[in-house]
Amino acid sequence: MRQILWLLALPALVGAVAGAGVGVLAGTFEDTGLDWLNHAPGYTAALVSLLALPATFAVVRLAGLIGRPSGAELYIHTYHEPPGRLPLREIPARILAAITTVGLGGSQGFEAASALLGSSLADATSRWRLLAIPPEAARSLITAGASGGIAAVFSSPAVGLLYGLEVPFRRDLDAPRLVPATVASACAYAARVAVAGAHPLIEVRELPSLEPVFVAGCLVIGVICGLGGRVFAWSQTRLQHLARRSHPLLRVGVASLLLGLLAWAGHALAGTWITLGPGHIAADWL
């Protein structure tokens, strides 16, 4: 009976609540908010995007999160460090920081915030003494919560499942968490659809035919994306090292100016604000 509770019932509950919460966040600030910003008159979107990083920096500074791990890193650290407890007091400020970034047009999505929302709900649930959840089952529940959050934000149960099982490792898969992560991802996706509707990045209207040219094209795209990901990761690491040598306010100012210029340049090239948010506007333009 306890196995059913830990492996099925609690992951389903956590996934559903996380999916509903992510649906509210994404539906309000990604779908409605960014759509309004995309259709705002003149260069309103570029001007508003200048405020994204200063507002986020203010939230992070006031909450005392400077120098702390980011949302995605926090989940990984919690997973590997016993007893695997998230700093629940930090969660509201971290989610608010994500809202200010995304809602004001920053080139970012709710991925980390969604995983953090799901895993923090799972962590809070696992602390109930009445449930008497052992440490290993609590870790599985946290994985399920993170999977549910990602499944909801990407409108894809499969993506959420793989996130929870793969992200804590570099070249491994946490197979023992498969059942709770699957249940949470499915329930989170269903709750997201019920609350705000599904919003996949790319809508596949018909299945492609598996012709040799199509398969070859997929392989080429996969290689290019892999190489691009490596370059992006290397660039991010170099920029992080460089950032430690300058004042935070200088970094925020320069980055905000660059985001505003990129927004203006993207609009000049495409006729729409393709740099805003997690990529829905750019995908719709494509």
Instruction: Write the pLDDT tens digit of every residue in 230-239.
Output: 999 999 889 8
DSSP annotation string for 87-137: -GGGHHHHHHHHHHHHHTT-S--SHHHHHHHHHHHHHHHHT-TTT---HHH
- Which of 73-77, 173-177, 268-272 is the least confident region? 173-177
> Would the pLDDT of 69 be above 80?
no
In eight-state DSSP terms, residue 192 is: H
pLDDT at residue 152 is higher than 80: yes
> According to the model, what pLDDT value does residue 73 have?
79
Answer with the residue of higher pLDDT: 186 or 69: 186
pLDDT in tens, 173-211: 777 788 899 999 999 999 999 999 988 887 777 888 889
Mean of the pLDDT values across residues 62-76? 79
CB atoms within 10 A of CB 212: 7
DSSP state of 7: I
pLDDT for the residue 88: 86
Supply the pTM of this predicted model: 0.88
- Give the C-alpha distances (Å, rounded to integers) separating 46 from 34, 42, 62, 98: 12, 9, 26, 18
Position 75 scores a pLDDT of 80
Q: What pLDDT, on a 0 to 100 scale, did the predictor assign at position 5?
A: 67
- State what percent of residues in the chain have pLDDT above 90: 51
Task: Output the pLDDT for position 97.
Answer: 93
Q: What is the pLDDT of the chain when averaged over all its residues?
A: 88
pLDDT value at position 6?
A: 66
Residue 286: pLDDT above 90?
A: no
Residue ranges of alpha helices (H) inside the chain are 2-4, 10-25, 34-38, 44-49, 52-62, 71-80, 91-103, 111-126, 135-153, 157-166, 178-196, 212-243, 248-270, 280-285
pLDDT in the model for residue 144: 93
- At residue 24, the pLDDT reads 94
Mean pLDDT of 206-229: 93
Position 164 pLDDT exceeds 80 = yes
pLDDT category at 94 given cuts 50, 70, 90 is: very high
Return the C-alpha torsion angle 32, 38, 39, 40, nearest 10: 100
Quick one: CA torsion of 93, 94, 98, 103, rounded to 10 degrees? -10
Write the pLDDT tens digit of every residue in 18-56.
999 999 999 899 888 888 999 999 899 999 999 999 999
CA distance 44 to 49: 9
